[in-house]
């Protein structure tokens, strides 16, 4: 399998952490891809022009990190990271949605910051920032449950949250989310030490 990839992308990281946690990392060849480069061929693989995109041997392409992660989960025999049914499944999916939403808002802020100063909108940035803060507040409320014995087993939800918080540290380090979200910070401190997280620390593509 080939994965359209950038070491800076938090959604790519989510898929790679998932692959490490399920023992599949060795089966994935990463293809460095600059999304803004029309010569990258990305649009042929993913009409949405986004990474991650997972290209299978038979030519099928999966995109959107939730779809890629669910596909990867079908390939291994370890305990599933997306539980098959019941409360555990809906909790994992809900947490993924929260974390991905936090990322969507953060990416919009990031892209806005890269536009020429005269084209930037402070109002737009404030709106997206308020989404981030509200989502962090929601995650803070369930931080105590993230590490509870029943929930101790890592799920797709934990991975999505870990990668979202890692992205805040990577791109918005000056906005100290830990100061106002201490329980979430305590959970993340442990989670970030997992080998899957350590192996995928974000960096800019060189
Ligand atoms: N919902 C998608 C989001 C993917 C996404 O936004 N990826 C970013 C990189 S982190 C991207 O490709 N941006 C390029 C663009 O939007 O043109 C997922 O979960 O995979």
Beta partners for residue 32, in sequence order: 5
Say if residue 162 is exposed, middle or buried (CB neighbours under 10 Å; 0-12, 13-18, 19+). Answer: buried
Distance 65 CA to ligand 1 centre (A): 9
Average model confidence (pLDDT) across the chain: 96
Per the CB < 8 A criterion, the answer to whether 16 and 200 are in contact is yes
65 CB within 6 A, ligand 1: yes
Place of tokens 């790519």: 12
166 CB within 6 A, ligand 1: no
Residue 42 pLDDT: 98
| Angle between helical axes of 156-171 and 10-21 (0-180°, round to 10) | 140
Residue 147 pLDDT: 83
Give the atom of ligand 1 at the shortest distance from the alpha carbon of 51. Answer: 12
Query: What is the number of other CB atoms lying within 10 angstroms of the CB of residue 35?
Result: 14
Residue 149 pLDDT: 64
Q: Answer whether 0.95 is exceeded by the pTM.
A: yes
196 CB within 6 A, ligand 1: no
Residue 148 pLDDT: 76
Both structure tokens of 10: 């938090």
Residue 26 pLDDT: 98
Residue 153 pLDDT: 87
Distance CA 109, CA 172 (A): 10
Count of alpha carbons within 13 angstroms of residue 140, beta-carbon side = 14
Q: Look at phi and psi of residue 142 and say left if phi exceeds 0, alpha if psi is from -120 to 50, else beta.
A: alpha
- At 92-130, the pLDDT tens digits run 999 999 999 999 999 999 999 999 999 999 999 999 999
Per the CB < 8 A criterion, the answer to whether 141 and 94 are in contact is no
Residue 160 pLDDT: 98
Spell out, as residue ranges, where the chain has pLDDT lower than 50: none
Per the CB < 8 A criterion, the answer to whether 126 and 138 are in contact is no
């Amino acid at each position: 399998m080939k994965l359209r990839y950038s070491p800076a992308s938090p959604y790519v990281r989510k898929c790679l952490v998932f692959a490490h946690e399920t023992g599949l990392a060795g089966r994935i060849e990463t293809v460095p891809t600059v999304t803004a480069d029309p010569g990258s061929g990305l649009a042929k693989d993913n009409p949405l022009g986004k990474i991650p995109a997972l290209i299978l041997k038979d030519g099928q392409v999966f995109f959107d990190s939730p779809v890629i992660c669910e596909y990867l989960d079908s390939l291994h025999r370890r305990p599933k990271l997306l539980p098959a049914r019941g409360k555990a499944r809906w909790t994992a999916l809900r947490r993924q949605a929260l974390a991905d939403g936090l990322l969507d808002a953060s990416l919009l802020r990031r892209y806005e910051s890269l536009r020429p100063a005269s084209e930037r909108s402070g109002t737009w940035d404030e709106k997206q920032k308020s989404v981030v803060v509200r989502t962090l507040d929601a995650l803070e409320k369930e931080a105590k449950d993230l590490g509870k014995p029943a929930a101790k087993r890592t799920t797709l939800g934990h991975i999505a949250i870990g990668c979202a918080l890692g992205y805040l540290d990577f791109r918005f380090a000056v906005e100290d989310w830990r100061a106002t979200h201490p329980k979430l910070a305590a959970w993340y401190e442990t989670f970030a030490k997992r080998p899957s997280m350590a192996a995928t620390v974000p960096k800019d593509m060189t």
